[in-house]
């Protein structure tokens, strides 16, 4: 018989895991909204060309990692491998720029990349992030960086580092890339195979290489892009750093930080944590002033970040991995009691806001009480034939063992006025 299992690079989120996932997600929603960002949701798949034009045809994502197919109508479609391009597509399609000059948008969504599964990254994974569209000014860069930093700070992530750089405007890129490739040719033969491939296809990704020998060679022979930025670019970057300093957000100027996607310009940043080990990146982002025009919209400045949810959860020290115990477990014996118990459970949930678990297996009283203890219910309600005949229920405090009889019609009032509701 066939044994069905999850596909490689995917995993089930079971109730114990989802408890902390839900806490993380709720906290992110709250932080985003406190900063004036509104949620946006885009379809799970898009036209393949959107990512080819947005991310860059020479990137690893487009060349190696996308899940792409042709549908019955001959359309080339792709499961979302990243979220900035779909958000920009929605911004253009719905003409959001005509409604207000600035849009602050955020998301929490599933993405798909066919890459080697590893700790904190699967082939189906989740990201949250934010995009601020409309402002060219450095204070918007600083707001985005502060937003990401404060979200992680709220989870008490330890040993965080904000790595910050400027790669300048798109206008300086062609001249710099020409100089970069010319310099790299001198050492091409002793670089790793990955770097050799990137020289023509995506030269800026050379700085992302994790090979220590490659990094030493690049440091010695290759000019860094920060030294090529214009005076205006420098002024913009200096203002970003001044604002971050005023916000007391610590950062490190990493002159080799470029980010790997084609659409970035000016400010780039990453937040890392040693709590994750060698693969220490929590999130990354930056400016992409040319992307909206590149995808068919009006020239519009924008800045944003994206962050992996799985990596955030890995970095959280407090590993809450259990489901919240129910407030009440209802034990019952007999048909009449089952009817009364069902109604009472529904009323307690709807009128008192209680988390109520109703016994439905009709086990023995002993087995039901054992289950109430196992799930760590605060209170157990016991209903049997005798209780029904007397129009009462037994309410047991599971921590003290104290029991009391309550008239059934008074149950809602009792649980609405109990100390935990004060």
Does 328-421 match 15-169+229-315 at the fold level? no
Q: Can you tell me which residue has the tokens 């990493």? A: 254
Are the CB atoms for 200 and 181 separated by under 8 Å? yes
Give the helix/strand (H/E) hosting 395.
strand 392-397
Give the helix/strand (H/E) hosting 307.
strand 302-308
Residue ranges covered by each domain of the chain: 15-169+229-315, 328-421
**Phi/psi at 255 (5° precision):** -70, -10
pLDDT at 200: 78
pTM: 0.84
61 by Cβ neighbours in 10 Å (0-12 / 13-18 / 19+) ranks as middle
pLDDT at 257: 87
The CATH class of 328-421 is alpha beta
- Count the alpha carbons within 13 Å of 224 in the hemisphere toward its beta carbon: 17
Alpha-carbon distance 35 to 145, whole Å?
12
Pick out the chain residues at pLDDT < 70.
260-262, 278, 317-323, 418-422
Q: Beta-strand (E) ranges in 113-254?
A: 124-133, 160-166, 252-253
Are the CB atoms for 374 and 368 separated by under 8 Å? no
Q: Check: CATH 3.30.930.10 for 15-169+229-315?
A: yes
Alpha-carbon distance 240 to 207, whole Å?
23
- Per the document, the length of the chain is 422
pLDDT at 262: 64
Alpha-carbon distance 168 to 225, whole Å?
8
pLDDT at 319: 46
pLDDT at 134: 97
Alpha-carbon distance 51 to 68, whole Å?
11
pLDDT at 317: 55
């Amino acid at each position: 018989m066939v044994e069905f299992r999850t596909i490689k690079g995917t995993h089930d989120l079971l109730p114990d895991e989802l408890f902390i996932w839900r806490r993380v997600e709720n906290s992110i929603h709250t932080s985003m909204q406190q900063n004036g960002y509104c949620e946006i949701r885009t379809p799970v798949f898009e036209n393949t060309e959107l990512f080819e034009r947005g991310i860059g045809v020479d990137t690893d994502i487009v060349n190696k990692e996308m899940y792409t197919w042709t549908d019955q109508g001959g359309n080339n479609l792709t499961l979302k491998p990243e979220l900035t391009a779909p958000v920009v597509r929605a911004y253009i399609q719905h003409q959001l720029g005509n409604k207000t000059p600035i849009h602050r948008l955020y998301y929490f969504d599933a993405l798909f990349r066919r890459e080697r599964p590893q700790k904190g990254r699967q082939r189906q994974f989740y990201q949250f992030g934010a995009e601020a569209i409309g402002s060219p000014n450095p204070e918007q860069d600083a707001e985005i960086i502060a937003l990401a930093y404060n979200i992680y700070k709220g989870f008490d992530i330890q040993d965080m580092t904000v790595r910050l750089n400027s790669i300048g405007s798109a206008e300086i890129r062609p001249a710099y890339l020409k100089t970069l490739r010319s310099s790299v040719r001198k050492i091409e033969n002793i670089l790793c195979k990955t770097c050799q491939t990137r020289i023509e296809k995506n030269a800026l990704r050379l700085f992302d290489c994790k090979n220590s020998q490659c990094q030493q060679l690049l440091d010695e022979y290759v000019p860094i892009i920060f030294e090529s930025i214009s005076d205006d670019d420098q002024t913009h970057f200096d203002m970003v750093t001044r604002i971050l300093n005023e916000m007391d957000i610590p950062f490190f100027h990493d002159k080799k930080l470029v980010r790997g996607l084609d659409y970035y310009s000016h400010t780039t940043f990453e937040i890392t944590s040693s709590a994750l080990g060698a693969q220490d990146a929590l999130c990354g982002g930056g400016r992409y002033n040319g992307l909206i025009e590149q995808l068919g919209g009006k020239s519009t400045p924008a800045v944003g970040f994206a962050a992996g949810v799985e990596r955030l959860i890995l970095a959280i020290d407090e590993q809450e991995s259990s489901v919240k115990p129910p407030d009440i477990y209802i034990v019952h014996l007999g048909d009449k009691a089952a009817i009364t118990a069902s109604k009472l459970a529904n009323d307690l949930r709807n009128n008192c806001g209680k988390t109520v678990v109703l016994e439905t297996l009709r086990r023995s009283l002993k087995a039901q009480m054992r289950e109430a203890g196992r799930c760590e219910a605060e209170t157990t309600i016991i209903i049997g034939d005798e209780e029904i005949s007397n129009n009462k229920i037994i309410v047991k405090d599971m921590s003290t063992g104290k029991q009391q009889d309550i008239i059934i019609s008074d149950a809602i009032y009792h649980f609405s006025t109990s100390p935990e509701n004060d």
